[in-house]
Structure formats: C-alpha cells, structure tokens
C-alpha cells in the first residue's frame, strides 16, 4: 500500500493525512495502524505537561533545536483543548515553534482534545505511533496540565517533564493534587523570575517525602526557555534517565503496562459498543424500569450480561 | 457647583419629568434601542443635567487653559495663538519619490513632515533581506542607509521644518541618520525639531513591528531620552501611542488606559536609568486616535490630559509644569474607513478631525478617503488636508478654548473615562506594570475581546456602519488608485550593492564591532550608533549586530 | 455518534505587517463555528505557511495581509502548494487589497478575497460550502 510505505519513509504529507484519518476515526486508519505497528517502539516519547503559560511550547521548541543539532529526528504533537460548547479550537502552540517549520527533520502537528473531555484522545496515542513508525527518534508531546490529561500523558509517554513556574503557587498545588508522581523530571521554567530557587527546594523536599524508598528521585532542572538556558542540561538529564530506565527494565514495565492498557481499552470499547448497539432497546427498557424503582441498576446490568453470554 | 437645595429641587423636577413627560412618550413610541451606548460601550442616559456632575469642582477638575490639571488644554489661548500643526503621514517607494511628495505637501500649506517607513525598515531589515520580498517601499519609504536618508530630505531645510518619524524598534538608528543629514546641511542637533515615535510597548500590544525583547528595547529608549535631553532640547523623544491600540480594537477607555500605562512604564524606566523626571518628561508626547463618536472622543482627550497631569504630579513628583502637560498628535481612525462607498470616508474624517480639534490636539493627520483600498492618491490627500483647513479657517471652533467645557454630558463622559482608565491602570500596576502586563498578554486579551464584540455588533446589526451593513449600493470598482512601482525592491537592492562596494568597509567593520561590544555593557548606545550610521553601515547591519546581543522578541498569542 | 470530521484552517499573516486584529477576529469566529484553527501569527514566509499547512493537513489556508505585498506573497503560496501537490487546499485571503488586484489573484488560484467589512459569517459560509 502506498500510504504505508510513504509513512514509513517519513513522507510528511502522508503522515499528516494519516493523522487526519485517525482523528476522523476512519476505518482505513485502523487498518494502516495495524500494518505499521511492527515499526513502532523505537522512538523515545517525551511528554511535556504543566499549567497554561508555563512555557511548554517554548521548551519544546528549544528541546527540538538541541536534539536537531545532534541530528535526531523530531516529531512534535501539541495538544490544546477543544471547546466543549462549539467543538472548535484555537491551536496556537506552533507559534513558538515556527523556526522549525522548514526543518526537514521535524514534523509538528497540532491537535484538539476533541471528544476526550479534559484528557488525551485515543487519536493522540495513535498519532504518536505514526510518528514513531515514520522514523522519528524523539516524539515530544505537549499537553496542558489540567485534570485528566496529566494522568493520560503519564500513560502515553516514556518520560514526563512536569513544567512549573516560580511564583504561581504551582508547588503547593502540585503537592496537594498529588501529581508529583507523574513527573519523571521536574522543569522549573522561567527561572529568571524571583523564587526559582525556593521552588526547587520545595519540590526537592516534597519529592524526598514521596520517593523515600525508591532509588531514583526525579531530577529538578532550572530552565529559561526563552533564552535557551538549562536546555542542554535538560537533554542530558533525559538521556541519563533513559539509560537508567532501560537498564533497570523500568521502561519495559512502563511500555508493557501501556500496551496492556491499550488492549484492555480497545476490548472495553468494542464490547461496550457491541452491547450498546445490540441491546439498545433492552437497555432503555431497563432504564425506564429502574427509574420507576421497579428494578435496581445492578440487576439490570446482570440481565444484559446474561443475555449476552447466552 | 450649586448648593444642596437647588440640587435637591433639580432631582425632584427630573424625577417628575421622567415619570410624566418622558414616560408618556415612551409608552407611545418605544425608543430605537432598549439601552444606548457610546461607541466605546459607556451607557448613555436620555439627558444629562447638573446632577450627573454635581461633584465637579471647576478650579480643581478643570482649571484654566494652560494650567494644571490641563483638562481644558495645554496652552492658555490654544488655537487663537497658533493653529495645530497639519501633518500628513506620507512616504512610499524610494526616497526620491517620497522627497517629491514632501515637497508637494509643503507647497500645499502643510506645516510639518511626517515620515512613513516601509515594513523592512521598521523591522530593521535591509531591502535585500529575504523577508523583505514584496514589502520594499509598500507602506512607506525604504531606507537602507544614510544615503537614502540624504535623498529623502534633499532640498528640505531641516532647521525650518519639524519632522515626525514613525519608527520604533530601530528608532535610534533612524534618529542618528536624521542627525547626520542635518549635520551635512550645516544644522546642529539642538536646532532640530520633530518627533520619533519610539514607542515599543504598543508594538508588542497592537502593531507588531518589534525586533528585540522588552528589556533591551526599553534600554534603547532610555538611551534616546538621555541623549536628547543633552543634545536635542527641541526634539520629542517619544510619541506614546494609543492610536494603534485603538486601531487594534480597543475602546476609548482602553486607549487612554493602556497608553498612559505605557507612559508610566517609560517614565519609570528612565528614572531607573538615573534620569530625573523633569529632565526628560517635558519631551514626552502622545499620539491618539479620533473616532466617530464625536462627544466621547472630545471627552477622551480631556480625560487623558487630566489623568496624565495627575499621574506626573502625584506619582512621579514632577515639578516642571511641562512635565505634566499631555501634548498629543491625532490621526483620524483608519479602521473606521470603509472600502464601500469610499467618498463617505470624507465625512467620517471630518467628524473625527473636529473631535481632535475640539479636544485640543497639537497636531493632526486626516486620513484620505481611499485608505481602506490602497495608498492614498494625491487628490485624496489634498481633500484630507483641506478638511483640516476648513475646520481651522471656516468652522469657528478655533476661536475660543475648549468650547464644549461645561456641557453636562461632556463633563460626565470626561469623568467616566478618567475613572475607568484609572481602574485599568490600577489593575496593570497589580500585574507588575505595563511590561509585565504585556508579557502576560493582558492588554492584548482585553483589546481582542473589544474587537470581537465590535465585529459581532456589526454582524448582528446592533451597530450600523453606513454603506457596509446598511444603505449598501452596487458599486463600480474605484479607479485611479496609487500603485507602488514593483521595481522599488530591485532599485534598492542595486543601491545597496553600490553602497557596499563604494564605502570604507574597514571602518564599517570596526564601527559594528564597537557597537557589538558596547551593546553588552550598559553604555548609552546613541554615540556609537551615530558613528555606525555616519560610515554608512546599513540599517540591517546595525540591527543584526544588536540582534546578536539582544535576541529577538516572540509574541505570545492570546485569542 | 458525533461528527468526527472537522474543518481545519490555518490562519497566518504572511509578510511583515503586524496588524492582526482581522486575523484574530476571524480565528475566533471560525473557532466559534466549530472549526479547528491553527494560528501561526506574524511574519510568516510563504515557505513556512505551505509547510505548516501540509503538516497540519488543513483544509483551508486563510491569509491576512495589509501591507500591500499581496501580489508577491499570495501567488507565491499558491505556487509552492502546487510544487508540493497540495493544491487541493483552499486558499482564501483578506485585507486591504484593491479590486483591480483581486482578479489577478483569483486567476493565480486564490479562491476568494475578502475585503474589509466582510462579515465573518460570510467567510464561514464560504468555507463550509467549499470544503468537501
Ligand atoms: N521570562 C520568561 N518567560 C518565558 C519563559 N519561557 C516561556 N516564557 C514566556 O511565557 C509565555 C508562555 O509561553 P508558552 O511556551 O506559550 O507556554 P505554554 O502555554 O506552556 O505552551 C510566553 O510569553 C513566553 O515567551 C522563561 O523561561 N522566562
Ligand atoms: Mg503551549
């Protein structure tokens, strides 16, 4: 098939078209994804998450530039929220990355969250696979860190950079919200602002508490994305962490979990779809009854399951 | 103003009138809208009385013309002495063509020059830069080096005219070129009068022709303040501009608030650089827009004057009265011009120009009717200039100072605009000042919200634009529009090549090297830029040298 | 099921002019009509615009230009799209563009030129009817 070959060869137009098919949930996309799957697994998937305006896009831009200077090929996926009211979105992350627009070794795609309320859509996972199969060495995925998407990115990425900014109350919030576990590396961006060192200390203390028993505490790196300060060190840290994760089999565990979850997710979706289409009338009937308190929801579900397995 | 009893009586009478006369008419004929608003969304009542301005204290709030807080104007007798400067912004194509246009304008009775530069010049690129393709000479004149500047002012005595230059990010370079041309004419810097726009903050907010990040940009600006306070006492070192903020969609209140907030940032930067306020503040000038809502605009100018005077006195402890006087240039609102039925624009411009004059402007540019379509033709420019002349010589509004003062509505609007602008400034102070607010996208967001609301009001028909969403006609495409010769780019490239082969390239390299090393220190860069200019370094070479040290600004979008 | 097809639009400002009021108002109106808008901001070269359009696989490129450089920049975008076999992307433009230039731009392949005063609803309708 032409598309498959073109994607595997890194043809940008074909990659772009395939991602669109994925976003449109086309059947063709699924068939192509099946065929390219064996070519995935080589790219290092790095998630970048943090509050809006914390400098994620600027960091991605600078990270990509350094990785390019080492001759690595970079795929970038920048996710912005879709308006739940209109279904529209303004995808503006690219504005910070337009220097890379003409770089042969960089592919940038902006995606709306679309159906995935707050989180990452399945399309984002699949788009990462496409970029992986097309021969990218690194895939950088930028997502706004609010609610579900942080949890999702931790599942999708091999390494998650959690971006924080001094003076925004990020520290306290993060510790409260229990998202400290998500970050593999903590990036204190805008460290040109007051309070950067204090934030570093606070995070290190908090990490000390969380990671008491584990051997590797997540590193904390100070950066100024707009000036490129600290980015070299960040890249080095990513590489060192990568070595460590591979050596200790952590990466394998992480990826195994991811794939297991994906299969379970697909199963759930397909079984559920199947039930919903075959038994839609029956379900409605049971819903009515439950509303009138003539049956309880547990028994209603059991009735469907029984019929299904008959 | 009046005593309590008479106010009480007035209040009673007004209520009576509302409940009888007014109500009766409303029951028979509902009004055209449920509520009325000014162009900038201040709610308007059916009638204004003393009740709306009962706290107004004449001596404190208005004062006499030429006296604090300058609400009524900065000169005691305003246009009875000298009319405003009629200054039409012009420039296009090559320096030769623009030079011809300037001579035409001066011969038509214009009293000052206003130079428009093309976009490559405004962003510090030479005409042969790849990003300059298609842009050379389009929205203004192309200046690559002192050579072009010499041609631009050829035969124009720089000690006789006052020149305003719309240049911001590379203002220090163009000012240096102007000084160098004058020197060749035998005119010393202290004899030069004019203005450079030099207002980088509004570029970040609204106009987009920035080069460097905020802090080195602010340094260049304070370098100019300092240099001019010593060498060019008659030069306006900055024109703090609300014009473009308004064009980007701001309301009148936002125009005043954001412009003055920028002004505060410049004053603070200069004070932090070690200047004392009365050293540079008398040379600060402003630049506002004039829109169609005649009375609101008049009030806007008055409110801006009063608010600035208070800020300078109360916040910065200025002593020199000239530091407190808000002197301003006005341009009629480009965004109000329509491509449909372009002759209607003449009427719009007339109303807007009248607002500027009633508001006490120091100089005025009137737009030409065809500016929504292309560069203005010579005919259109003449009508625009005649509009000003008719207001000046025939309308009679010039014969007394601030003729609308004391109108209940005008004074109410003046108070309201001042108060709302002050609220914005407080908010900006809380964000850490104008520079921080801009970095956070605060002003940009506010302006975009206003722009979007305005557009939606037009689309819903709540707001009528004559000829656009009402009273449309079938139209023939207009003819006789001015076209810039597409060869200008080529001409400039050839001139650049010639220049680079004929100048002393060793001196060029040395000068640029010196610029590079001084940029890294905190020295005043004006002397070394002047040196670069004089040995014919190009604008692009100078700006590239600074780019290497300062970096480039990337906008943060806010939609 | 929800409609999974979404119109994707690239809004860019080619050239050097910094007046982005129109571009931003349009971006917002398109978003509010359910489209995905990729906004790249100021000072975009034709090369950047075309490469971005391809990677983002947009249906429409909307170019706002007020500097007068349209006769150079707009045809250049069309030419580059052709070179990349991407002329199926609809290119529309807005800004201060004289009537006498519009014909030439349309001949060059610009689908429509919207001059100042065009309601955003007209632009939305145009996109919806021309994107298939
Ligand atoms: N002072 C400072 N500003 C930064 C830094 N990194 C990013 N910014 C600015 O922060 C704003 C938001 O950056 P962006 O990368 O779009 O953030 P995102 O929303 O997290 O993707 C922009 O105005 C950037 O220029 C930094 O290290 N220091
Ligand atoms: Mg971002």
| Other chains touching C, judged by 3 or more CB pairs under 8 Å | A, B
Find out whether the beta carbon of A52 lies less than 6 Å from any atom of ligand 1. yes
* Residue A170, pLDDT above cutoff 60: no
CA proximity to A77, closest of A9, A32, A138, A146: A138
pLDDT exceeds 60 at position A171 = no
pLDDT score of B274:
93
Cα C98 to Cα B47: distance, rounded to the nearest angstrom: 44
CB B304 within 8 A of CB B289: no
What mean pLDDT is reported for chain C?
92
Contact check, Cβ <8 Å, B554/A90? no
Predicted model pTM: 0.91
* Minimal-distance CA residue of chain A relative to C46: A102
pLDDT of residue C2 exceeding 50, the answer is: no
Q: Catalogue all structural domains in chain A, each as residue range(s) with its CATH number.
A: 41-247 (3.40.50.300), 261-309 (no CATH)
For C20, which of B131, B133, B208 is closest by C-beta distance? Answer: B208
B478-513 as b/e: b if 16+ CB within 10 A: beebbebeeebbebbbebbeebbeebeeeebeebbe
**Angle of CA points B499, B504, B507, to nearest 5°:** 125
* Minimal-distance CA residue to ligand 1 atom 14: A55
Chain A with chain C: Cβ pairs closer than 8 A: 90
Which of C32, C40, C52 faces A88 most closely, judged by CB atoms? C32
Q: C34-92, pLDDT tens digit by residue?
A: 999 999 989 999 999 999 999 999 999 999 998 888 999 999 999 999 999 999 999 99
Q: DSSP 3-state assignment of A200? A: helix
Question: What are the Cα distances from residue A279, in Å, to A273, A290, B295?
Answer: 10, 16, 69
The predicted structure's pLDDT at residue A217: 81
Min distance B128 CA to chain A CA atoms (Å): 20
Instruction: Specify the ligand 1 atom closest to the Cα of A53.
Output: 19
pLDDT, tens digit, 9 for 90 and up, residues B203-257: 999 999 999 999 999 999 999 999 999 999 999 999 999 999 999 999 999 999 9
Is B455 in CB contact (< 8 Å) with chain C?
yes
Q: Whose CA is nearest to atom 12 of ligand 1?
A: A53
CA torsion sign for B338, B141, B289, B191 is negative
Tokens standing for residue A149: 């998407």
Residues of B in contact with A227 (CB under 8 A): 551
pLDDT in tens, chain B (559 residues): 467 889 999 999 999 999 999 999 999 999 999 999 998 889 999 999 999 999 999 999 999 999 999 999 999 999 999 999 998 877 778 899 999 989 988 888 887 899 999 999 999 999 999 999 989 998 899 999 999 999 999 999 999 999 999 999 999 999 999 999 999 999 999 999 999 999 999 999 999 999 999 999 999 999 999 999 999 999 999 999 999 999 999 999 999 999 999 999 999 999 998 999 999 999 999 999 999 999 999 999 999 999 999 999 999 999 999 999 999 999 999 999 998 899 999 999 999 999 999 999 999 999 999 887 777 788 898 999 999 999 999 999 999 999 999 999 999 999 999 999 999 999 999 999 999 999 889 999 999 999 999 999 999 999 999 999 999 998 887 776 667 777 889 999 999 999 999 999 999 999 999 999 999 999 999 999 999 999 999 999 999 999 999 999 988 777 7
Q: CATH number of the domain at B78-438, out of 3.40.50.80, 1.10.240.10, 3.40.50.300, 3.20.20.240?
A: 3.20.20.240
Q: Judge if the beta carbon of residue A58 lies within 6 A of ligand 1.
A: yes
Nearest-atom index, ligand 1, CA of A223: 27
pLDDT in tens, B94-137: 899 999 989 988 888 887 899 999 999 999 999 999 999 989 99
Q: Is the CB of A190 under 6 A from ligand 1?
A: yes
Residues less than 5 Å from ion ligand 2, measured at CB? A 56-57, 93
pLDDT the model gives residue A118: 60
B542, containing H or E segment? helix B539-550
Residue located nearest, by CA, to atom 7 of ligand 1: A55
Which residue has tokens 């510790």?
A: A175
pLDDT of residue B404: 98
Question: Interface pTM (ipTM) of the complex?
Answer: 0.94
Record: contact A95-B559, CB cut-off 8 A: no
CB atoms within 10 A of CB B108: 15
**Burial of B453: CB neighbours in 10 Å, binned 0-12, 13-18, 19+:** middle
Does residue A238 carry a pLDDT above 60?
yes
Confidence band for A309, pLDDT divided at 50, 70 and 90 = confident
Cβ neighbourhood burial of B146 (10 Å; 0-12, 13-18, 19+):
buried
Mean pLDDT of A62-74: 97
Q: For A31-40, B485-494, C5-14, which range has the lowest pLDDT when averaged over its residues? A: B485-494
Place of tokens 């080096």: B145
* Over residues A277-285, mean pLDDT: 90
Please report where in the chains the tokens 């005593």 appear, as a residue.
B3
Indicate whether residue A167 lines ligand 1 (CB < 6 A): no
Give me the half-sphere count of Cα atoms (radius 13 Å) on the Cβ side of residue B204. 28
Q: Would the CB atoms of A90 and B559 count as touching at under 8 Å?
A: yes
* C100–B477 C-beta distance less than 8 A: yes
- Helical axes B442-460 vs C21-32, angle rounded to 10°: 70
Q: Could you tell me if the CB of A149 is within 6 A of ligand 1?
A: no
**Omega into C128 within 30° of 0, i.e. cis?**
no
Domains and CATH numbers, chain C: 8-130 (3.40.50.280)
Tell me the two tokens of residue A89: 């979105």
Helix (H, G, I), strand (E, B) or coil at A35: helix
């Amino acid at each position: 098939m032409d598309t498959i070959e073109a994607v595997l060869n890194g043809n940008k137009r074909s990659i772009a078209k395939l991602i669109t098919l994925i976003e449109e949930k086309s059947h063709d996309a699924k068939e192509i994804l099946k065929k390219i799957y064996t070519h995935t697994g080589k790219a290092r998937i790095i998630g970048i998450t943090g509050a809006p305006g914390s400098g994620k896009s600027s960091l991605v831009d600078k990270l990509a530039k350094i990785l390019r200077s080492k001759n690595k090929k970079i795929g970038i996926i920048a996710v912005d929220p879709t308006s739940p009211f209109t279904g529209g979105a303004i995808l503006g992350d690219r504005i910070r990355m337009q220097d890379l627009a003409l770089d042969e070794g960089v592919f940038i795609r902006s995606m709306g969250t679309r159906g995935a309320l707050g989180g990452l859509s399945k399309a984002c996972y699949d788009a990462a696979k496409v970029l992986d199969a097309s021969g990218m060495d690194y895939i950088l995925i930028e997502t706004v860190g609010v609610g579900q998407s942080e949890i999702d990115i931790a599942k999708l990425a091999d390494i998650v950079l959690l971006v924080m900014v001094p003076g925004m109350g990020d520290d306290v919030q993060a510790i409260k919200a229990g998202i400290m576990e998500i970050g593999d590396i903590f990036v204190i961006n805008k460290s040109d602002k007051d309070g950067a060192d204090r934030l570093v200390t606070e995070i290190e203390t908090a990490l000390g508490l969380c990671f008491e028993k584990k051997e590797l505490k997540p590193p904390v790196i100070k950066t100024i994305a707009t000036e490129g300060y600290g980015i070299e060190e960040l890249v080095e840290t990513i590489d060192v962490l990568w070595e460590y994760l591979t050596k200790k089999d952590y990466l394998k565990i992480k990826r195994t979990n991811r794939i297991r979850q994906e299969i379970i997710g697909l199963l759930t979706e397909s079984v559920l779809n199947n039930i919903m289409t075959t038994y839609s009338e029956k379900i409605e009937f049971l819903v009515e009854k439950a509303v009138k308190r003539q049956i309880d929801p547990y028994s209603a579900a059991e009735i469907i399951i029984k019929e299904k397995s008959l | 103003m009046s005593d309590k009893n008479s106010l009480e009586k007035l209040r009673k009478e007004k209520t009576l009138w509302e409940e009888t006369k007014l109500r009766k008419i409303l029951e028979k004929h509902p009004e055209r809208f449920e509520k009325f608003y000014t162009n900038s969304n201040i709610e308007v009542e059916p009638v204004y009385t003393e009740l709306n301005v009962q706290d107004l204290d004449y001596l404190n709030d208005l004062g006499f013309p030429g006296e604090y807080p300058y609400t009524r104007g900065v000169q005691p007798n305003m246009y009875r002495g000298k009319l405003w400067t009629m200054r039409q912004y012009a420039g296009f194509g090559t320096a030769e063509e623009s030079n011809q246009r300037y001579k035409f304008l001066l011969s038509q009775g214009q009293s000052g020059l206003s130079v428009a530069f093309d976009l490559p010049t405004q962003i510090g690129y030479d005409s042969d830069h790849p990003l300059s393709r298609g842009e050379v000479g389009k929205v203004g004149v192309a200046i690559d080096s002192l050579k072009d500047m010499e041609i631009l002012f050829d035969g124009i005595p720089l000690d006789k005219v006052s020149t305003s230059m719309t240049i911001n990010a590379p203002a220090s370079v163009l000012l240096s070129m102007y000084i160098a041309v004058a020197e060749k004419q035998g005119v010393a810097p202290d004899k030069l009068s004019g203005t450079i726009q030099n207002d980088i903050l509004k570029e970040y907010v609204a106009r987009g022709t920035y080069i460097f990040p905020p802090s080195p940009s602010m340094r260049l600006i304070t370098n100019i303040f300092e240099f001019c306070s010593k060498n060019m006492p008659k030069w306006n070192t900055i024109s703090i501009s609300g014009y473009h903020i308004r064009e980007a969609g701001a309301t009148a209140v936002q125009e005043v608030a954001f412009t003055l907030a920028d002004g505060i940032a410049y004053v603070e930067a200069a004070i932090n650089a070690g200047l004392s306020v009365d050293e540079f503040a008398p040379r600060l000038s402003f630049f506002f827009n004039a829109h169609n809502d005649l009375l609101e605009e008049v009030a806007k100018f008055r409110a801006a004057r009063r608010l600035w005077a208070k800020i300078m006195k109360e916040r910065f402890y200025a002593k020199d009265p000239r530091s407190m006087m808000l002197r301003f240039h006005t341009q009629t609102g480009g965004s109000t011009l329509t491509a449909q039925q372009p002759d209607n624009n003449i009427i719009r411009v007339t109303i807007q120009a009248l607002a500027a004059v009633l508001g006490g402007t120091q100089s005025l540019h009137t737009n030409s009717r065809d500016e929504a379509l292309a560069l203005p033709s010579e005919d259109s420019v003449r009508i625009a200039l005649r509009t000003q002349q008719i207001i000046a010589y025939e309308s009679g509004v010039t014969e007394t100072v601030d003729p609308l003062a004391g109108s209940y509505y005008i004074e109410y609007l003046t108070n309201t605009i001042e108060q709302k602008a002050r609220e914005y400034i407080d908010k900006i102070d809380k964000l850490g000042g104008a520079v921080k607010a801009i970095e956070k996208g605060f002003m940009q967001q506010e302006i975009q919200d206003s722009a979007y609301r305005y557009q939606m009001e037009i689309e819903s028909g709540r707001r009528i634009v004559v000829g656009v969403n009402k009273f449309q006609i079938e139209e023939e495409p207009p003819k006789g529009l001015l076209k810039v010769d597409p060869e200008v780019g080529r001409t400039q490239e050839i001139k650049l090549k010639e220049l680079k082969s004929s100048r002393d390239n060793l001196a060029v390299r040395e000068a640029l090297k010196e610029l590079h090393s001084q940029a890294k220190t905190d020295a005043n860069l004006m002397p070394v830029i002047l040196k670069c200019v004089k040995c014919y370094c190009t604008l692009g070479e100078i700006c590239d040298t600074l780019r290497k040290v300062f970096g480039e600004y990337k906008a943060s979008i806010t939609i | 099921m929800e409609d999974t097809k979404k119109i994707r639009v690239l809004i860019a400002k080619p050239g050097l002019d910094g007046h982005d009021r129109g571009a931003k108002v349009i971006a917002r109106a398109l978003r509010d009509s359910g489209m995905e808008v990729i906004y790249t901001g100021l000072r975009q070269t034709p090369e950047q615009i075309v490469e971005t359009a391809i990677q983002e696989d947009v249906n429409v490129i909307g170019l706002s230009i007020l500097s007068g450089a349209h006769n150079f920049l707009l045809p250049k975008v069309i030419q580059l799209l052709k070179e990349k076999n991407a002329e199926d992307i609809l290119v529309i433009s807005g800004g201060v563009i004289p009537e006498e230039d519009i014909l030439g731009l349309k001949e060059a392949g610009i689908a429509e030129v919207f001059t100042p005063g065009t309601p955003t609803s007209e632009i939305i309708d145009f996109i919806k009817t021309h994107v298939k």
